[in-house]
Every structure is written in C-alpha cells, then in structure tokens.
Structure 1
C-alpha cells in the first residue's frame, strides 16, 4: 500500500489520540550523518501526555520530551530521513518502508496490548534507566551498559527530581521572555557536581540550548577532578573553578544561579551574588540554618520567647522553627528585590528525606505590592527580634 508523509502523520495522530500508541522506531537513516535510530514512546508528565524521543548518534543517546503539537511538527521533519519506521499500537504493528518510489505500508495484527502509563515513576524520569548516558556512566551512577547501579539509585532519583525543577524553571523563563536559546549559569558550592553535569546535559543535549555553566567550590582536588570529567565528555562550555562565592566575578550577568546545601549564611551570600550578577532565576536549597536560632537565644525582644514560647522553651523545637523562619525570611527578602518566589520540597534521597527549595524568578511587582511586602517584612523582623545577616546583605537591592 503506497502512502505519503501526511498519511504517516495521521497514523501517529490517530493512535496517540486514541491512547493506542505503544512505541515507534525510526531506523536505517538515508544519511549517515543523521541519528542512527530514534525511539518514541508516550510518557505522562504531571497529568499531560508527551512523546519521549530517544535518539542515538556516535554511541550517545539524546532524550527530549515533546508535547503532542511539537511531536507532529518534529515527525514531519524526520520522516523522510529514515528508510524504515515501525509503529507498535495496542492492536497492530505497522511497518513503513521508504525507497526511491516513495513509502509503502504493511499492517500486522498482534495480541492486544494495553497501554499503561507507568505507576513506576522511573518511566516518567527525564533521564531513563537502561539507557546509556555518558555523564552518568562517567560519574559511576550507571554501569557501562546503561544500568543504574544499586548503590546510586537514590542519587539517580535526586538528579531526575532536580531536572524536573530545572524544566519548570526554564519553561517559566522562556514564557516570560527572560531567556531565549542561550543561558549563563553558576552553581555555587558544586561539590562532586552530579547536578552540575546533569544540568549541562539536560540544557545542551536535550533542550539544544547554547549554555555556559560554571561550577564553583573551595576544594581544589574536587575542581580538578570535575574539570577532567568535563574534558573527557567534551562538555566544552562547562568549567569548574576554585573560589569563594563572595569573590566570584567570572560573569557580569547570568540567567540562573543554583546553590545546593550551602551551609548557614553561605546561602545568603549566594543569594546576594545572584543579585549582584543580575540573575533572572535563583534556586537555593539551604542547609544548617543556625544563625537566627543562635541570635534568638541572645535576643531580649524576640516573640519566640514570648507569644511562641511553646517553641522557645524547647531547644529542638526552636531549632526547627528557626530553620523555617530563616527560609521564609529569604523568600520574602527576594520578593522585595523584585522576584516572584515559591518555597517547595526538594527531594534528596541521599541526604535527608525532605529539603526546602527556594525558587525565585525575576518579576515586575507593582508599587502597591512592594509597599505591602515591606510592611510584612518589617513586622516579621520585629517579631523575630534579631538582626539577620540577610537583612544587611539584601537591603540595598530592595525595590522602592
């Protein structure tokens, strides 16, 4: 049966819309410089159906999840580049072959299969298990055959959770036209840099953006090791530098900064540096928020020893309250600096079950909103009865 490109697109549309599409395989490319093979499968992400494209070239696998509209547009671009297409649905296999005369189609009935969007979250991950991903292999998260190692599966989950936040942040930045197809990013306190490598791979290899990423840390041996891995992977625009957050000056303008588990006031200095570098997005996962807790013990005006004495009378409760109070203050201070903020859970299975992530995206708050936020901020500082470092650091950036 002879068909044309439009007919093939209709086959995909019909089976995807009817929830009968299981998978697709594009193989035998007409040009050796193209992807060797492309696999397609449906995935459910936050209640919406996407099509995941897994493309193979030069022994590397590249992944991207496209909306249905984006999927059909992309299919039109690639169909003519492959001599063989296999479409598996819940009821049949459809084989499409291309030669000089055009496309031909054969259908084969199969035992009925039920399409199931996995209840196993692994299948909804941005990065997939059982798929060779070079940077994960290099970092020891995966074996050479692409299987996540048992002792690193928590790290694998953490990386994917992190990339979900990055995916949402990127979408918001693009919708607000704060970034286009290029980004400058700094990761403060990058450590072993699992997430820094994941960020580069996601933005460069999956989202096809032009990126420059710098990881900053104080440990010279860690920095040298990470630079060696980046060179081996040919991650040309990913660099690691030894240095202190306060002294960083490699970029004078950035699109995003990320700070993971910067201890105590190191988080405050990373927020300040984000403002100094005019960052459009700030993502911070604070750690060891001890400053306010210590200052409460020395304060004669704090309501933690007054109205909230049931907390202040117990050291462990005061410590937990102070950690939350610190991050609430950080989020509020960033709003006064002109950002829209959200405080959400960051799941880090390798460290603690739950962490807080402060997400701040550059906004344009009205004067009235800023006045109300400033009143809220001043009341809050008075209630705490302390003079936190972040107040001194960020005050110069408060919008008037």
Structure 2
C-alpha cells in the first residue's frame, strides 16, 4: 500500500541515526529527476578515533568516502542524502530490514521485515571491501539466495554488461532477455541499470509458462513489476511491447542462441550480449563432411571435434554479426571454474558495411569446412 513519501523518508532517517544500523544503500532515481550521485552507502565503522558512520557515494566514475561522527554531523549528512531524488532506499538494522521504493506518482512503497541474518557484534572493521557492481545486500539476493558463487557470477556478468554499454545510458533503456529461465540475471541487469540512473524497461522471455508465473511473482516481491515483465513464448515468436535496445541471451541451448542473435539483428538492437551453451549443430555437420587437409587430427577424436565445433560455431557467429553491422568482442566473462560455458559474444551495433575481405573470409571458411551455420540460414530467411 503506498505511503506518504515524507513519512517513509522520516522512518529511514530515524533508522540511519539509530545505534543498531548495520548498513544502508540508496540508488536509482525518481521519475523526471536525477540525483547528484548514482549511489550512496552508509555503514558503521570503527577507526582509531572511535566509532564513525562511513558514507560512500559514487558519481559513476569513482567512489568518494567520508567518515562522520554520530550525532549532529551525521544528521546533517543524512539530510543531504535524503534530499536527493533517489528511487530506492534499503536499510538494515540489527533487528529489521526496511525497503523503500518511490513510485512514479511520488508515493513510497515500503516493505518491512525482520532481520534475516544476525548482525555482527559492533561496527564493522575498516577493511577495504570488494566493490561489487550490485551490492551483496541488495534485496534481490534475499529472493534468489546470496551465496558467494552466485554473487561472483552476477558481478562478472554485470562487469561485462558495463563494458558493453556507454557511460551515458539512454533513457528509457529497453531490454529483452531471450531464454531467461529463472531470470536472476534478468533481475540483476535491471537492478544494476536502474541504479545507474536510467529508466529501464525489461521483458524476459521463456518458453515455459510456469517460469513466467514464478518470475512475475518475484518482480512483484521486489517491487519492480511495473518495469520488469515476463512472457511465455519461443525466442523466435514471442511478442514484445517494444523494440529492444539491449538483447541478452545467456546460455540458450544450441541453436536457440542463433535464434536470439537473429532476432537481435532484425531488431537492429544497439547492444547484444550472448553466452552460448551447447553447440550441437556445427558438431553434427562436421561428422558428415570430409575434414580439409591438413586438419584431420582436429576432428578425428570425438572430444577434439566437439571442442573445435565450439570454436568454429562461435567464430562464425561473430563473423556473421560483423557482416550485419556489429562490432564483436569474444571474451571470457567468468572463470571456467564457475561454468565451462563462460564465453561471451559482446556486440555493439555500428551499422558499418562489411568489407570485401570480411565477406570473402566468411565464404572461404564455411566452404572449406563444408558447414552451413544455423544463424546464416535464419538471417537469410
């Protein structure tokens, strides 16, 4: 139920100044307004000079840290932060968690809950903490589980996303996640992008209706159902309410990755991030063609043929994207210890016409190996 904004912010102020504060985060922006910093974090620390409240703000280029005395100095600093038009506040104390989201109408949606993790005794030591792109205390992790391995995977994905997008994000920024599954990366992308100040609209697509229902419930629980929605349908045919700027396709199996890339090209999406999964299509074709000399050893053994098929498949995908006006980087977005499928095709649309050399190189490569990539057939249809 919406509450008056001034009343909700007064509650946040009281919690920030209370002795039981463990941490607080402000991020996002209100409709039609932009705060002077993209994010602010507050936590108690113990220094040689005694107990302080540490405030870390980030203007998008680097964090700025200051330590204030509890009391009047902290109250003045918090009043400045509360006057900023942040879209979300997340406050944790030793006994409770309070989340405030400012709606488009300027009201406050407030979620209050008992603390889920026992707070450590006393303020945190003043150690340099890892700078996560999505704070480990974000409400998302309360829903999907916040173990260290999942946080690292999400952080690695968000860093790849950050490296793909420009510093100044378009607003609104329209995003589609094709083959979203349980959508924890969909939500992570939304939380991160919204935290950078953009108005973000996200649609997740998955063929399973039960996933749509589950993910919609998660969006409602996180208070972002107005901006994050889900549809059940195939990657090729699912209807979207907009033409996306950013297309995600993360671990879509075999030619489902090709389906996602083909739709992204037809949409002329500005940015595409695709993490391929299995590569059966080209692997099956290699079994039925004569390997060109002198590369027989690369396909003689099944395990080597499978690995070579992976490389050839993604090389051809990257080449086809370049032929259709994209600049492509193929990178590892996380250590292989976390997942063997750790390759990412990171693409940005430039609209550049392919060179004659690029066309010839692609034609010669497919002819030499006798393969016809699924993506090529989809783009030609």
TM-score (norm 1): 0.65
Tell me whether 1:66 sits opposite 2:59 in the alignment: yes
| C-alpha distance in 1 between matches for 2:42 and 2:206 | 34
Match of 1:46?
A: none
**Cα offset, 1:183, TM superposition:** 0.7
| Secondary structure at the counterpart of residue 165 of structure 2 | helix
Report matched runs for 1:288-367 at 5 Å: 288-300=278-290, 302-303=291-292, 306-347=293-334, 352-353=339-340, 355-365=342-352, 367=353
Match of 2:93?
A: none
Larger Cα-atom Rg: 1
Question: 1:191-215: per-residue Cα shift (whole Å, max 9, x none)?
Answer: 11110111111112x1121111011
Indicate which of 207, 211, 214 corresponds to 1:218.
207
Match of 1:193?
A: 183
| C-alpha distance in 1 between matches for 2:60 and 2:298 | 48
Q: In the alignment, is the contact (CA less than 8 A) between 1:256 and 1:281 conserved in 2?
A: yes
Return the structure number with greater relative CO, CA threshold 8 A, min gap 6. Answer: 2
Task: Structure 2: give runs of 5+ residues left out of the alignment.
Answer: 1-8, 17-22, 26-36, 44-54, 77-124
TM-score (norm 2): 0.68
| Secondary structure at the counterpart of residue 263 of structure 1 | coil
Match of 1:275?
A: 265
| Secondary structure at the counterpart of residue 236 of structure 2 | helix
| C-alpha distance in 2 between matches for 1:117 and 1:183 | 33
Q: CA RMSD in A?
A: 3.4
| Secondary structure at the counterpart of residue 335 of structure 1 | helix
Which structure 1 residue ranges, 4+ long, deviate > 6 Å from structure 2? 33-36
Match of 1:145?
A: none
Whichever structure has more strand as a proportion of its residues is 1
Match of 1:256?
A: 246
| C-alpha distance in 1 between matches for 2:285 and 2:368 | 13
Match of 2:10?
A: 32
| Secondary structure at the counterpart of residue 182 of structure 2 | coil
Report matched runs for 1:360-379 at 5 Å: 360-365=347-352, 367=353, 370-379=355-364
Change in CA separation of 1:52 and 1:250 when aligned onto 2, cut-off 3 Å: closer
Q: In the alignment, is the contact (CA less than 8 A) between 2:325 and 2:350 conserved in 1?
A: yes
How many residues align? The count is 295
| C-alpha distance in 1 between matches for 2:229 and 2:299 | 45
Q: In the alignment, is the contact (CA less than 8 A) between 2:182 and 2:215 conserved in 1?
A: yes
Change in CA separation of 1:308 and 1:64 when aligned onto 2, cut-off 3 Å: farther
Change in CA separation of 1:115 and 1:232 when aligned onto 2, cut-off 3 Å: closer
Q: In the alignment, is the contact (CA less than 8 A) between 1:333 and 1:394 conserved in 2?
A: no
Match of 2:134?
A: 127
| Secondary structure at the counterpart of residue 171 of structure 1 | coil
Q: In the alignment, is the contact (CA less than 8 A) between 2:246 and 2:270 conserved in 1?
A: yes
Match of 1:103?
A: none
Report matched runs for 1:66-215 at 5 Å: 66-67=59-60, 86-87=67-68, 96=73, 123-129=130-136, 131=137, 133-139=138-144, 141-142=145-146, 152-171=147-166, 174=168, 179-204=169-194, 206-215=195-204
Q: In the alignment, is the contact (CA less than 8 A) between 1:154 and 1:349 conserved in 2?
A: no
Tell me whether 1:53 sits opposite 2:60 in the alignment: no
